[in-house]
Amino acid sequence: MKSRIRFPPVQSLLRNGSSEVETFRHIVKRRSRQTNGLQYVRLHMQSVSGSQYFRVSPGLESARRCSRMSALSSKPSLRHSVSEWLSNNQQLAATAQHERRVSHEVRQEGRTLRNETHCKTVWDEGDTSRRLSDRIWDVSRWRDVLEICAQKMDEEMEALTLSKERSELALAATSVPLEVANECLTLREGRRGYELVGDPVEAQLKQEAELIEGVQQRLQRSVDQAFEQLGVLQEVRHQLTSDLQNKMEALDIDTSCLSLTIKSPSISLKTNPTRIPSGSSSPQQWAQFSQYNVARAQEAVHVSQQMRENMSLGRAQVQNELEAQRRATEFALRKRKHHEEQARDELQWQIKTTEDEMAAMEGDIRGLDADLQAKTASLKLAHTRLEARTRRSGVDLCRDEVQHGLVAEVQQLEATIQALKQKLSDAQLSLQKMTLHRGRMRQDLSRKQEALSLEERSMQCRTRITSQSGSDRSAVPLVPLVNSSGRSNLQLLAL
């Protein structure tokens, strides 16, 4: 009789866990042995319609019958329990209650938001209009300040232009004294070597040239500064005009914005209106910019007024400075000429004394050379005797007193010759140095004579220029000067 294998329900195995699956596998394997003895049953797990079940597939006919029985006993669908059904109903009810509560909260928040945003919008519109009014007042105030500054700058530019023209006339009268100083400096630049020295004459001439150039430079600098200051005034006025124009444009725009309402036909939505345009500035930067322009304009006007005063005073100081410097330069020239004459006489005496010493040195060199030749002959004699006595033979090749005397004589002669050569070399070197130094002294004497000649020419030139400058000063016209207040009550010599 064939025995049947009874399998436990698959759902109970799945619910109980892997331990019952192992038990089921053991049961199948044991009962299969009881049925066929030598056959084994393998356990497979498959998925059917989302649920799982076990299928036993034996290798022989009995295993196939067991498989058909297990397939008939398994169910394709999963059943829910009553507790699961109740839990699902409770969850649906709780979710519905939660969603109704959330909807109520959203409706209340929406009403609150509408009220708050309406109040905020009305307040923001009023605040923006007030800020526009304040801004228009600020811009109008700065516009008035800029207009006043521009008017003052126009007046100062006219006064500075007049003062610059007067300085240019005074500058034209300084050309003759400058030519005199430059001519004297050019003559003294012909000195050579150590005669090209920064002596008091050089200092006085340079000081005179610097004074004349300084006078001319001061006048030219005042003219240049006036020209530059005019440029600065024009630039500042241009900046003021540009700032003033921007203020007027800003006033027009802000006034137009203040007149707009929500019923204006020209309003519309714009693309990204909250963007920050490139080149935007902060209120502090805006105020600082106008303050800087006004301060710069006031400073430029003050500098221009001070400049006009300095130009008037500078034209009055030129004449006395030139006269005092001319006298100091001529005194230094006379003193320098006297010193150069003394130096020339001293150098001529030094050359004569050096030539006498050179003649004496040449005689001593000839004596040293003669002694050196004589000592060389004595050394040759001693060498010859020593060499001849080396040819003695036997016991007669003795280091006797003669041998010691000859050796001592040779050593003494060699030391004497060496000393004579050294002294002769020193004498020749000294003679060579004196010869070179005499050449330098002769060159220096030539330079001193040239420098003395240049000093005399400079003095003659200055005498001519002094008389010419005296005649020129008698014909210098008067130039009216205007001070910073505009009163032309000063008249000074134009230089």
* DSSP string computed for 220-250: HHHHHHHHHHHHHHHHHHHHHHHHHHHHHHH
Terminal-residue alpha carbon distance, the chain: 155
Handedness of CA 275, 277, 281, 283 (dihedral sign): negative
Supply φ then ψ for residue 466, to 5 degrees.
Answer: -65, -45
Q: For residues 247, 252, 256 and 259, what is the CA-based torsion angle, rounded to 10 degrees? A: 90
Question: 359 Cβ partners below 8 Å, 6+ apart?
Answer: none
Give the integer Cα–Cα distance in Å for 164 and 307: 10
Model's pTM, two decimal places? 0.47
Give the integer Cα–Cα distance in Å for 390 and 317: 102
Three-state DSSP state, 376: helix
Q: Identify the DSSP state of 193.
A: G
The pLDDT value given to residue 351: 92
Q: What residue ranges do the domains of the chain occupy?
A: 10-76, 108-260+286-331, 338-389+401-473
Question: In angstroms, what CA-CA distances link 40 with 2, 32, 36, 455, 464?
Answer: 17, 6, 9, 143, 149
Cβ-contact 46, 55 below 8 angstroms: yes
Three-state DSSP state, 294: helix
Q: Is the domain covering 108-260+286-331 a CATH 1.10.390 domain?
A: no
415-423: Cβ within 8 A, 24+ apart? 416/375, 417/372, 417/375, 417/376, 417/379, 420/368, 420/371, 420/372, 420/375, 421/372, 423/368
Cβ-contact 167, 315 below 8 angstroms: yes
pLDDT in tens, the chain (495 residues): 444 444 444 444 444 444 444 444 444 444 444 444 444 444 444 333 333 444 444 444 555 555 555 554 555 567 788 898 899 999 999 999 999 999 999 989 999 998 998 898 889 888 888 988 898 999 899 999 999 999 999 999 999 999 888 888 878 777 777 787 788 888 888 888 888 888 888 888 888 888 888 888 888 888 888 999 899 899 999 999 999 999 999 899 888 888 888 888 888 878 887 787 787 778 888 889 989 999 999 999 998 999 889 888 887 887 788 788 888 988 998 999 999 999 999 999 999 999 899 988 888 888 888 888 888 888 888 888 778 877 777 777 777 787 888 888 888 888 888 888 888 888 889 889 999 999 989 988 998 999 899 888 888 888 766 665 555 554 444 333 333 333 333 333 333
Question: 336 Cβ partners below 8 Å, 6+ apart?
Answer: 199, 200, 201, 455
Cβ-contact 222, 313 below 8 angstroms: no
* Inter-helix orientation angle 318-389/283-316, to 10°: 90
Structure tokens given for 261:
């309402």
Half-sphere exposure of 64 (CA within 13 A, CB side): 3
3-state helix, strand, coil in the chain (%, to 5): 80, 5, 15
Handedness of CA 430, 435, 439, 441 (dihedral sign): positive
- Burial (Cβ within 10 Å: 0-12, 13-18, ≥19) of residue 364: middle
Give the integer Cα–Cα distance in Å for 139 and 243: 11
Supply φ then ψ for residue 74, to 5 degrees.
Answer: -80, 155
Give the integer Cα–Cα distance in Å for 408 and 417: 14
Question: 456 Cβ partners below 8 Å, 6+ apart?
Answer: 337
Handedness of CA 224, 227, 231, 232 (dihedral sign): positive
